[in-house]
Amino acid sequence: MAKGFPGMGMGGMNMNNLMKQAQKMQQKMMQAQEELAEKTLEMTSGGGAVKVVISGKKELKELKINPDVVDPDDVEMLEDLVLSAVNEAIRQADEMYNSEMSKITGGMGGMF
């Protein structure tokens, strides 16, 4: 009988092949994570009044504020624009990460 799981016979996947596949998937995931860390996402809010650039690691790389939207009497509006742009960039980074990982794991991401 072939090595592997009892009762699986010659056609079954043995444990060595399973481990090799898991290691290969893990290597692909690590490579994809490194590539994603190098990517950036740019998001704007307020029709371009606020622009943020975030890395694939969710690090804020750049923040630009159009001077025309700086109103000392309405700081809350500017704060809302910044929050909106940053939160959307984080959401997009999560989406990009999840999309890349699901390509590698074939939807089995929770197992690895």
Give pTM, 2 decimals: 0.67
pLDDT(112) > 50: no
pLDDT of amino acid 64 = 95
Percent of the chain residues topping a pLDDT of 70:
83
Dist. CA 68–CA 59, nearest whole Å = 26
pLDDT(83) > 90: yes
pLDDT(62) > 80: yes
**Could you tell me if 89 and 52 are in contact, meaning their C-beta atoms sit under 8 angstroms apart?**
yes
**Could you tell me if 51 and 37 are in contact, meaning their C-beta atoms sit under 8 angstroms apart?**
no
pLDDT of amino acid 88 = 93
